[in-house]
Structure 1
């Protein structure tokens, strides 16, 4: 039996889709032991983006984030592995790419704080909420033996 298998959400943001680094981002996760168990490309409208990022309403970056995330297609994915939330955050790097460790996804592919290449769930509770926002249970296919 495999212990501590978690699921987390990854969003490949519009700048990463536009810059054609989808495969490179996915490769980094797969090489690190993650399994991509759901994925789809979406073009969110402003209402959908506001609904997803409601926890950030009122923060100084909210309006820029809404505008950016509704500016082009994104790819939403559910990733699975042992300690997925923590490991995802380590792989993507600090939210502010200027503070991200060299070699992390945000260090390598971000344009700035708003256009920081990817979104990753910051807790198990957030992962559950975020996955449910984008996916139905019948769209997620775990590949670990339970």
Structure 2
């Protein structure tokens, strides 16, 4: 069994999509090992999560979006959980996400110049899953 980190971003929470996302996770046969609603997150935590993007000129908009409201974080497990969850999420850009994926069915394309709001996040490798799980669940923030 493999574990991965997942997140329902502020746009997903704001639009009332938590139940729909969790239903898809469970329907796929994954087990939800941990689940928390975070009413707010610190800038430090967001900066650590997106450490590879912090120096990019577009990053402040991502930080502001991720701190704009509550979000849901969790750990799911199952066979090939990382790859399967990423497939379920769909392409990063909502306009490229296929119907049937979470982003394809629920995310809305961002107007030119605005931050992509794509409902969900998932770790992209075993290493990033371990790092993100430790960051969000094993440290006090």
Per the normalisation by structure 1, the TM-score is 0.86
The structure 2 residue matched to 1:38, chosen from 34, 37, 40, is: 34
Number of corresponding residues: 133
Determine if contact 1:64/1:114 at 8 Å carries over to the other structure.
no
User: Structure 1, residues 9-56: CA drift from partner, whole Å, max 9, x if none?
Assistant: 110000110111101000001101111000111111222211211111
User: Structure 1, residues 59-87: CA drift from partner, whole Å, max 9, x if none?
Assistant: 34311110000010100000000000000
Determine if contact 1:17/1:73 at 8 Å carries over to the other structure.
yes
Q: Specify the SS of the correspondent of 2:82.
A: helix
For residue 92 of structure 1, report the CA deviation from its aligned partner: 0.3
Q: State yes or no: 1:61 paired with 2:58.
A: yes
Q: State yes or no: 1:124 paired with 2:126.
A: yes
The structure 2 residue matched to 1:11, chosen from 7, 11, 28, is: 7
Which moves more between the two structures, 111-120 or 97-106?
111-120
User: Structure 1, residues 79-137: CA drift from partner, whole Å, max 9, x if none?
Assistant: 00000000000000011111111111111222336211001101111000001111139
2:103 corresponds to which residue?
Answer: 106
Aligned counterparts of 2:43 and 2:76: Cα–Cα separation in 1: 25
Aligned counterparts of 2:138 and 2:47: Cα–Cα separation in 1: 20
Gaps of 5+ in 1: 138-146
2:47 corresponds to which residue?
Answer: 50
Q: Which runs of 4+ in 1 moved over 4 A?
A: none
Distance 1:47 1:115, change over 3 A: same
2:135 corresponds to which residue?
Answer: 133
Gaps of 5+ in 2: none
The structure 2 residue matched to 1:96, chosen from 93, 96, 100, is: 93
Q: State yes or no: 1:75 paired with 2:72.
A: yes
Q: Supply the RMSD in Å over aligned alpha carbons.
A: 1.5
